[in-house]
Amino acid sequence: MVLTLSTMTAFSQTAAKSSSNGTDALVPTYQLYKTQNMWIYIKLNTQDGTMKLVQFSVDNVESIGEFKLNPTSLATGKEKKNGRFSLTPTDNMWTFLLLDQIDGDVWQVQWGFDEADRFVRKIE
């Protein structure tokens, strides 16, 4: 038990050191965010804010795929760093808030099944 605890302590200290050194190796480039639709997730590139809808199915192969939500980088002219962008769901199942954790900018992210219903709009 002592060996297990000392191993866990050493690992957590190593992880804390690498993140305090400014490395972003522990933060993934891509993250999946669950929507309230059981078949749809949002895939976020945490470096540049680009997003795709990821749809899966257990019986309809034709409906499986990735679909554009925001193909345009929101980090143009800015540092691209893992973890720069994060998504937060709202009470509206179709709406998320995208946060630039470095600059503090916020966008409304609206997803939908039809491409015409999807948009990303900066909140000013």
Residue 65 Ramachandran class (φ > 0 left, ψ -120 to 50 alpha, else beta): left
Helix, strand, or coil (residue 62): helix
* Mean pLDDT along residues 81-95: 97
Contact 52, 68 (CB under 8 A): yes
The domains of the chain are located at: 24-123
**pLDDT higher at 25 or 108:** 108
What average pLDDT does the chain have? Answer: 84
Q: Mean pLDDT, to the nearest integer, of 99-118?
A: 96
Largest Cα–Cα distance of the chain, in whole Å? Answer: 58
Instruction: For 37-86, write each residue's pLDDT tens digit.
Output: 999 999 999 999 999 999 998 888 778 999 999 999 999 899 999 999 99
Judge whether residue 96 has pLDDT over 90: yes
- Residue 123 — pLDDT band, cuts 50, 70, 90? very high
Rounded Cα distance between 27 and 53, Å, is 21
Is pLDDT larger for residue 119 or for residue 61?
A: 119
CA distance between the termini of the chain: 53
